[in-house]
Amino acid sequence: MEIHKRKIQSFAKYSYAITLPVHWIKKNHLIRGKLSSKSNQDLENGPTVNIYENADGSLSIYPEKVKEQEKRREFTIVLDDYLKQNPNFIKDKAIQMILISYYMNGATKLEILSQKQIPRVFIDQIEDILERLLLNWNLNRESNYKLYIENALTETPENIIEERIPQYLKESFSKLLWMIDDILTAIKEKKYQNLTNIKEQDMKIDRYYFFIVRQIRTIFDNAQISKPLHFNHKKLVDLRLLAKFIEDVGDNLKDVAEIIYNLHEFIQDIEINDYLVNYFTTLQEIYDELLKQLKKNVVKRESPVGMNPEIMKIIQDSRKKGNVLEQDWKEIASKVKILGDEYSFIEYYDGARLINNLVEIFTKIFDFTNLFF
């Protein structure tokens, strides 16, 4: 990358100016039109650039290309093509992953077209996906052959700041704590039917996750809007990873709740109910401490550098508590005997899946803490 040096020149009484490379001006079509010299019209209608101060104090200069960017984010989906490739496309609810992909990559408008009348069940699928998972997208039906989805609010450099990525991260993490508390309460009180509500909490975390990824990708695609957020690219990568960790734990907790709901009689018979109470009580204590650190660190402009003594304490305490939980589990597991035909192999297999999920949830503690150094 060639570096262009320019002298700073005094301009008027309170300003300074630098010249811009002519090849850059031509490349971005910023050559001024032939208007009368120094006229008001020339000043008002001439080409302009946007200048932003970065988190490290440097300046970035960008040509205005808002309309071009907006145009590139409008797409068309032809339903007939997907049905030709997969006749069960609607039955398989395959539209969900397609919509999520367009959403996270910053699409502002999607047209869905078909030569035949679009089935009502397909429209219902889309409405359900938008309501559960995709924040700020609305569905409209122009005709029986054409649907379109677009942003309820247009995303611009001015309103990106209002969406507050850190706020959604904190709310997502808070929902993890609610899930842990709900699972713990259901096991303690043996009200396993309450575990069916955990899936809804996980979907709310997914909704926040997709939106956070969309926002961060939009910021990377449009570097000029990173200034209002006060985050450099390193910090944005950390926030993206943090969002993924939260989403992963949400999925693990959802699976744990489902397994416990389906296997609660088996769990009581092999006498690991008390172990689960102890596990989630321990997990709750550690995640409470993690939330405090998240609230402190996620709003900072840059990722912390150096060892954080509070984080080190969480890591050390977690390792000690994790070792105790592992020893307790080994002692309990050694006493479980697989005898008789009361339970099938699949129930023992799901029991193993339960423990595997518990291990993954606990080890995520160390992934979280790595981001707070």
Instruction: Provide the pLDDT for residue 252.
Output: 97
Q: Is the pLDDT of residue 36 over 50?
A: no
Q: List pLDDT tens digits, range 201-254.
A: 999 999 999 999 988 887 777 666 655 566 777 888 888 999 999 999 999 999
pLDDT per residue over 259-272, tens digit each? 999 999 888 888 89
Predicted pLDDT of residue 372: 67
- Domains of the chain with bracketed CATH: 9-65 (no CATH), 69-151 (3.30.110), 157-370 (1.20.58.220)
What pLDDT score was predicted for residue 256?
97
- Is 325's pLDDT higher than 90? yes
Structure tokens at 41: 């019209």
187 pLDDT higher than 90: yes
DSSP secondary structure, 148-206, as one string: EEEESS---HHHHHHH-HHHHHHHHHHHHHHHHHHHHHHHHHT-GGGGGGHHHHHHHHH
- Asked if pLDDT for residue 71 goes beyond 60, the answer is no
**Contact assessment for residue 73 and residue 109, using Cβ atoms and an 8 Å cutoff:** yes
| Per-residue pLDDT at 271 | 87
pLDDT for residue 199: 94
Is the pLDDT score of 11 beyond 90? Answer: no
| Contact present, 146 and 116 (Cβ < 8 Å) | no
When mean pLDDT is compared over 38-42, 291-295, 341-345, the highest value belongs to: 291-295
Check whether 12 has a pLDDT greater than 60.
yes
- pTM greater than 0.95 (yes/no): no
Distance separating alpha carbons of residues 333 and 317, to the nearest angstrom: 24
Contact 146, 217 (CB under 8 A): no
Asked if the model's pLDDT at residue 137 lies above 70, the reply is yes
Least confident of 49-63, 239-253, 322-336: 49-63
Mean pLDDT value across residues 7-12: 78
Give the bridge partners for 61, in sequence order: 51
For residue 336, pLDDT beyond 80: no
